[in-house]
Structure 1
């Protein structure tokens, strides 16, 4: 009976997945590809890894007839992320599913880059850089409506420097992309599974997020390494520091924002106030630096514990 239920739900999941694939590849709403892991999350949670693998294989076979090679890639990518997250949601906490999803996404990225380079001779990173440069030139040609020529040149010079650094900071770009994809699917999976009366573990409220105190020390050491030219010129250290620094900055920024939400909750402010303040702060480089410092103080001196007393 259980196998029959699994087969029926597998057929439904397959149908939904293929509809998402069709919408992603042949309609203007290509954003549907970001929702593709969700059906697999549901199935993985309900029926486990073994049956989940069979559903992925069936979906891959059918997707080839719809989208050929790219359809196969989309389904493999979504299926593996979804099944891994779904199986790991069976614990008491959401964090293992989040970490498992991020690792699976990164492995998929690496597999995709390797296959495209070794089998097809396509350098996806270089193609992405070329596309970005082409887009910048198109926007630059509209410069008359963007401001003075000097300002335009400075802005575009900064963007071109960033594009040239993509090879160097590729790891951090992939990690950030993986985190965004997984958190996006986690958010919607929580909502959908709640509606299906099979709730999955949620992350703790953002105001309760606390990262390890050691992040502060790593951040300070990374800043020192960046300021020492002789250290930064060593290629291996340059790659490590260039990728570690923005990751640590992002974590400390999140810690500062978490403290902001904690403070707003403690003072009884409406939920919309810290959200608006956070958006403004993230968009302003100066305010972002203040939040990073706030995150360092919170971690280093257990600031919120002192406020609770």
Structure 2
């Protein structure tokens, strides 16, 4: 592939990714489908071109999103779609097995989402890993003032309020798990959809994944599970070691 043709194809793929992201942003119902397709052009970009051109194409597409939707949307595009898409294409060239690409892609997706959450926390002042008690109480009060105005009984409001407060209290505990599961699901969907698109358009395909019935966890996962259970039982509160789950 000549340098001119490579540059043109990179620009087209980057532009197509922006179009899909805009469709996902503005179309109410079918936008979900476009959001699943958005990483596919970037996967092809990372697969067919070297890392320098793929990064350049991602940078151009990020600037386009910033000019059309603003810097926050551009940040969500590059960390939510761009890094994962280009990374999957790059990993597909380096790894022979689809499972390896998927596992490294999950780590890449998790890292980009953590960075996105950190930046979003700095901008909004809300840390989902450690919610402020006063802010949570203020939010709960505002929500249930609305329910009181609708004529809901005090007993029902008190019961729902307790359940809602307990859910918010547990949110920082389960949020890392939610984020990890979201990263894994996002990577898997991006990989399978991009693989389907590549089969349709032709060219170098992504390494195939084994059948789901053949998937097995390594034996080391059991040790990690035991360690996670022990660490969750013993937490530090106010400088003292005690049971965190109570």
TM category, shorter: 0.7 to 0.9
CA distance in 2, matches of 1:137, 1:184: 38
CA distance in 1, matches of 2:235, 2:41: 47
CA offset at residue 177 of structure 1? 0.9
**Higher-RCO chain (CA-CA 8 Å, sequence separation at least 6):** 2
CA distance in 1, matches of 2:230, 2:82: 42
- Are residue 95 (structure 1) and residue 96 (structure 2) matched? no
Q: For residues 1-309 of structure 1, what are the structure 2 equivalents within 5 Å?
A: 1-29=1-29, 30-31=31-32, 32-77=34-79, 78-90=81-93, 91-118=95-122, 120-123=123-126, 125=128, 126=131, 160-197=165-202, 198-220=204-226, 232-235=234-237
**Secondary structure in structure 1 of the residue aligned to 2:28:** coil
Q: Tell me which residue corresponds to 1:144.
A: none
Q: Which runs of 5+ in 1 are unaligned?
A: 142-148, 243-309
Q: 1:212 to 1:163 in 2, by over 3 A?
A: same
CA distance in 1, matches of 2:13, 2:46: 11
CA distance in 2, matches of 1:155, 1:189: 43
Q: Is the 8 A contact 1:38 1:82 kept in 2?
A: yes
Instruction: Tell me the TM-score normalized by structure 2.
Output: 0.75
Q: Which runs of 5+ in 2 are unaligned?
A: 149-154
CA offset at residue 154 of structure 1? 7.3
CA distance in 1, matches of 2:206, 2:6: 19
**Secondary structure in structure 2 of the residue aligned to 1:210:** coil
Aligned-residue Cα RMSD (Å) equals 3.8
Q: Is the 8 A contact 1:20 1:36 kept in 2?
A: yes
Q: How many positions carry a matched residue from both structures? A: 230
CA offset at residue 35 of structure 1? 2.7
CA offset at residue 68 of structure 1? 0.9
Q: 1:51 to 1:26 in 2, by over 3 A?
A: same
**Secondary structure in structure 1 of the residue aligned to 2:125:** coil
What does the per-residue CA deviation read over 1:97-145, in whole Å, with 9 as the maximum and x for residues that have no partner?
A: 2223222222222222222333x34215259x89x969x969x89xxxx
Q: Is the 8 A contact 2:76 2:116 kept in 1?
A: no
